[in-house]
Amino acid sequence: MKVISYNIYRHNKQLKKVFNFIQNSNADIICLQEVPKIFLKKLQTDNPNKFKINYSNEYFIKSNHKKSILLYNVILSKYKIDKIKEIPHIEHNKFPIYYRWINKYDNLDIKGIYIDITTQTGEQFRIFNSHLECIASPNFRINQFKNLYTHKSLNKHNIFVGDYNVFANPILSPFIGFLSGYKSKDFMVIEKNQFKKLFEILNLKNIFHKKRTFKKLPFQTDFIVVDKNIEFDMPIVHKSELNGSDHYPISVELN
């Protein structure tokens, strides 16, 4: 089963290239983040590969300037869908300064999604697609993932996919922490190590560990994380397929 994760970027001006990449990918499962409404409609109306299209509101942001942003998490599947569910992410007790002072947001609703599928050979999977919050502390994102994990299946294979924005470290954090709601202890955190430990505790495998998936900075921000008993081949970071995004698509064959 070939799985792709791709944050297509909400301001993408090359959506036709993104669409062509998706249609030519020969993938069984494609998880997209930051999908604008115009592209979701394109997927729904022009679907030569006969994907089952599942989506949730990824980010709904409303400012007191009457401006709204609505983006979607989308999962495309060639397999029968047994179940679909939205997962509300945990919320801020207090908005970070970036939200309150810079963009003056007064409403923020963030969700993930999972689907249950059955393959042609009868194997069952639960596949999560989510976008962990960028304007937040590393500990907040850890808790968002823990919340996703509470929805794992006990009798199916679990696959966690998405843009997790794992980038906090002592070099970068002094420049972003004040605006993003960091507490004093967060400024010295190496977030990738936090997630590595968490995955180990939860018996999960980060297939793209130490791979750069973000164009602008040398970080792994995009993840395909699976139960440890799942075998895989051909993990690829598609660096020639940026297609107007700031994230590289990633793909892997799961056995």
Walk me through the domains of the chain, giving residue ranges and CATH numbers. 2-254 (3.60.10.10)
Span 151-208, pLDDT tens digits: 999 999 999 999 999 999 999 999 999 999 999 999 999 999 999 999 999 999 999 9
Say if residue 106's pLDDT is above 70: no
Write the pLDDT tens digit of every residue in 116-140. 999 999 999 999 999 999 999 999 9
- Structure tokens belonging to residue 66: 């009457």
Residue 199: which of 161, 253, 153, 146 has the closest Cα? 146
Task: Return the pLDDT at 102.
Answer: 74
CA 62/CA 25 separation, integer angstroms: 35
pLDDT band at 110 (very low <50, low <70, confident <90, very high): confident
With a CB cutoff of 8 Å and minimum separation 6, the contacts of 215 are 242, 245, 246, 247, 248
Concatenate the DSSP letters of all residues of 148-186 into one string: HHTT--SSSEEEEEEE------TTTHHHHHHHHT--GGG
- 76 closest CA partner among 16, 18, 122: 18
Strand partners, 76: 30, 53
Q: Quick check: 226 pLDDT over 70? A: yes
Read off the pLDDT band of 60 (50, 70, 90): confident
DSSP for 86-126? Answer: EEEPP--SS--HIIIIIS-EEEEEEEEEEEEEE-TTS-EEE
Position 63 scores a pLDDT of: 61
| Residue 181: predicted pLDDT | 93
Over residues 212-222, the pLDDT tens digits come to: 999 999 999 99
- Which DSSP symbol is given to 187? G
Q: What is the pTM of this model?
A: 0.94
Model confidence at 62, pLDDT cuts 50, 70, 90, reads: low
- State how far the Cα of 105 lies from the Cα of 74, in Å rounded to an integer: 24
Average pLDDT for 140-148: 96
What is the C-alpha to C-alpha distance for residues 111 and 123, in angstroms, rounded to an integer?
Answer: 27
Neighbours of 43 (CB within 10 A): 20
